[in-house]
Structure 1
Amino acid sequence: MTSLFSNTSATGLPTVQIHALSAGHFTLPEEQFVYPASTGARKTVPSLAFLIQHKNRTSGKTTRIVFDLGLRRVIERYSEPIQRHLATRRPLTTDPDVVSSLRAGGLTPEDIDFVFYSHVHWDHVGEPRDFPQSAFVVGHGALDVLARKSKSLRGSHSFFESDLLDPARTVELPDPAGKGSEGNTTTTSQFSNTINVQGPWVELEELLPAALDIFRDGSLYIVDAPGHLPGHINLLARTIKEDNSTGWVYLAGDACHDRRILRGEKAISEWLDVHGHVCCIHADRAKADETIERVRDLERKGVEVILAHDVEWEEDAANAKRFFGA
């Protein structure tokens, strides 16, 4: 049987187009992200967003999705706790943001049908009000995080806005633990007959335990990626490569924050807060390690992996042309 991840001729296979969107930069203290780390070491990283475009072969309709919105253009619009946290993440820049990056390629927020959030940390949620006509998709558990029902989350980055999203334009994905059954999520007309946000979750080749076939044609999957934050999701997309074969791109969000962790050169960091509690950038360290190992397996199969804060990917000159509008 041919593997899903084999490179084949593009003829006849549904694909999507993917472009990177610059959505701000900020600076990470390495001691809170990788181990071992040199005392005081800091690294400025991007917050990448992505434009995904899918053309229905029957209707000819193009559906446009933006995956993550990066940093908020006006940081004063963040809550006070997040603004205090941002003081530890300087230098940072918010120009260009997602809206400017879309404009560089000739699109506006009104052209975007859906915004998918990998998760709802401050450096991914951007400014939802910039997209007043888009529908929003979040992973299972993300709405509880926004409502501040998750009491175990620690760290100055763990502040969330209960009023971030318009409930009338937002859908939360069904629980991946109910794999194989349809979700009970009520959807609006913006979702009906356009994308699959109700399930069922399926397993992909014993490698990814829970994936959702968004367009029901195998071109784009939402992948459950537990560990970093409740509701954390990734995307797996089939694309056309330069040699006209199809290949896969995996948008890994914050599955990990540094490519050295994927290579096994570093491990996930933990630290003590002022109260002596053990903190980690991942809400569930054990599940995060499992997710990272799955991502490694994808790379071994030839899937291109891009992290949300992938400074190595951004600095690779060959990727400059992959930004929208380049």
Structure 2
Amino acid sequence: MRTTRLLLATALLGLCGAAHAADVALARLDCGGPREAVSVAAFSDTFEHENRKIALTYSCYLVRNGDRYLLWDTGNALDGSDAAPKVSLVDQLARIGVKPADIDFVGISHYHDDHTGQLAQFPDATLLIGANDWNAVTASETPAGFDPKQYAERRARFAPWIGRGKLERVSGDRRDVFGDGSVLMLDLPGHTPGHRGLLVKLAKKGNVLLTGDVTHFHENYRSNGVPTWNTNRADSLASLDRFRKIAENLKATVIIQHDPRDIGKLPAFPAFAD
């Protein structure tokens, strides 16, 4: 009898796990980007791309886990610039009936402006950000190498979480966002001190790896290119090596967030991959 109960319990747990895994879905949101090809010479500190131009894109992602949501990166600001998105994140989410207050977590790959531009539109969400990135954002004085005006604007985007909002300074190798192993923030420093990537485990599509800015386009990914403005070259190379091995071991679909050639790896919003 005891053996029968154990077998039944194991079967039920397996069914629940399968149902839960099937309830995880991933969508791409358009978060801006230059309308024309731009020089990417500065994306390599070894002069690899001196004559290359690419029309980079800015991508954000929505992960649905049951009735909970993670918004991954928030793209460029609605500032009227050439790189500004045509439709805000709030308006895109409204197409599927999701309001800003429905977002449980906003995960930030790193603090750069093209990944945090619309962050302040989600003040009720728990902000997940690398601890070392948070330290850089909230430093009492403008860090070396930062333009004071730009730094003040960046800090303002994080204002809802400075001293009062729901905040988690993510540290360690990985952060299990929903507590079920389906979505992991991965430690990939180098581009910034607290840079993170995202692993999403989908029942049908399989494992999906979102790069953040561990790399920016296919050519740099193939050659381990390091942008001139990365905060630590050795960490950048180590993170690229780790990312590549994770992708190989998990047979993951790699989505380079800035490369327009990867947009088609997910269905067009409002559709989700599951």
Structure 2 residue ranges without an equivalent (≥5): 1-13
User: Residue 219 and residue 226 in structure 1: after superposition, are their counterparts in 2 closer, same or farther (change >3 A)?
Assistant: same
- CA distance in 1 between counterparts of 2:149 and 2:114 reads 9
Q: CA deviation at 1:72?
A: 0.7
Aligned twin of 2:7: none
Confirm or deny that 1:173 pairs with 2:169: yes
Q: CA deviation at 1:50?
A: 0.5
User: 1:142-165 deviations in whole A, cap 9, x for unaligned?
Assistant: 222213457344689973533322
User: Residue 157 and residue 252 in structure 1: after superposition, are their counterparts in 2 closer, same or farther (change >3 A)?
Assistant: farther
Task: Give secondary structure in 2 for the equivalent of 1:65.
Answer: strand
Confirm or deny that 1:237 pairs with 2:200: yes
Confirm or deny that 1:309 pairs with 2:258: yes
- CA distance in 1 between counterparts of 2:63 and 2:185 reads 12
Instruction: Provide the alpha-carbon RMSD of the alignment.
Output: 2.8
Q: CA deviation at 1:28?
A: 4.3
User: Residue 63 and residue 254 in structure 1: after superposition, are their counterparts in 2 closer, same or farther (change >3 A)?
Assistant: same
Aligned twin of 2:245: 297
Q: Structure 1: which amino acid aligns with 2:260?
A: V
User: Residue 139 and residue 170 in structure 1: after superposition, are their counterparts in 2 closer, same or farther (change >3 A)?
Assistant: farther
Aligned twin of 2:185: 222
- CA distance in 1 between counterparts of 2:40 and 2:170 reads 35
Q: In the alignment, which of 123, 134, 155 is matched to residue 114 of structure 2? A: 123
Report the TM-score, using the length of structure 1 for normalisation.
0.67
> Which has the larger share of strand?
1
Task: Give secondary structure in 2 for the equivalent of 1:52.
Answer: strand
Aligned twin of 1:164: 157
Aligned twin of 1:63: 68
> Which has the larger share of helix?
2
- CA distance in 2 between counterparts of 1:135 and 1:293 reads 30
Number of residue pairs matched by the alignment:
246
- % of aligned pairs identical? 24
Q: In the alignment, which of 22, 25, 33 is matched to residue 17 of structure 1? A: 25
Report the TM-score, using the length of structure 2 for normalisation.
0.79
Task: Give secondary structure in 1 for the equivalent of 2:127.
Answer: strand
Q: In the alignment, which of 49, 53, 69 is matched to residue 37 of structure 1? A: 49
Q: Structure 2: which amino acid aligns with 1:258?
A: F
Contact 1:295 1:305 in 2 (8 A): no
Structure 1 residue ranges without an equivalent (≥5): 1-8, 56-61, 76-85, 177-209, 270-279
- CA distance in 2 between counterparts of 1:324 and 1:144 reads 35
